[in-house]
Amino acid sequence: MISMQCFDLVAMDSAKAQEMAQRLGYKRIFSLGKDVDIVENLKRSDSARKKIVKSDDFEVVSKLLRQNEVIGMLPGGASVSKKTLEIVKNEGKLLFVPLADMVRAEDASRTHALVKARNLIRSALMSKVNICVVSMADDATLLMSNMQMTEVACFLGMDQARAKDAVCVLGGVL
């Protein structure tokens, strides 16, 4: 069996994350601000880095997802509309599902984060959107191994093959 190369995206120091990459089973851990930027509005960015859209405004999301340097979207609120998921699918972009909030949260807020992520994944699977599961860890204690991320993705409603793809797909776009 050929092992797939897995990737993660974090919001922490890239050197520290890269040190841990091999131990956690990743080929590479990408960092926000170094490898990719998050854009929340239509202002032009001078950065040549790839971008991820994070907005609840449908107009902003639909315009930005049509740009070549945009690789996908990160949900801003509790859910993503079917119209938005349709654009993500039609443009061949990724829907990013961050897991750090679930790991960081306690008690009732963890349950809320899990339900939110499970509903998001269910909607994305029904819409046939490409899903990318990332940690978005801003602290080393929130990092998970690629196997843990795959298992969490399964817990959230994906089958094993889709979950593995969701953890490995980032390398193909960055």
Look at residue 2 and tell me if it is in a domain: no
Look at residue 47 and tell me if it is in a domain: yes
Closest CA to 165 of 116, 124, 136: 124
Here the tokens at position 117 are 């992520």
Q: Which residue has the higher pLDDT, 128 or 102?
A: 128
Look at residue 96 and tell me if it is in a domain: yes
pLDDT digits (tens, 9 = 90+) for 117-144: 999 999 999 999 999 999 999 999 999 9
Look at residue 82 and tell me if it is in a domain: yes
pLDDT of residue 78: 66
Domain membership of residue 160 as a residue range: 7-172
Q: Which residue has the higher pLDDT, 79 or 74?
A: 74
Which amino acid is it at 87? I
pLDDT digits (tens, 9 = 90+) for 6-41: 999 999 998 989 999 999 999 999 999 999 999 998
Look at residue 17 and tell me if it is in a domain: yes
Look at residue 1 and tell me if it is in a domain: no
Asked if 93 and 66 touch (Cβ cutoff 8 Å), the reply is: no
Number of domains in the chain: 1
What is d(CA 151, CA 126) in angstroms, rounded to the nearest whole number? Answer: 20
What is d(CA 60, CA 165) in angstroms, rounded to the nearest whole number? Answer: 28
Residue 128, helix vs strand vs coil: coil
CATH number at residue 35: 3.20.20.140
Look at residue 64 and tell me if it is in a domain: yes
Residue 22, helix vs strand vs coil: helix
- The pLDDT of residue 2 is above 70: no
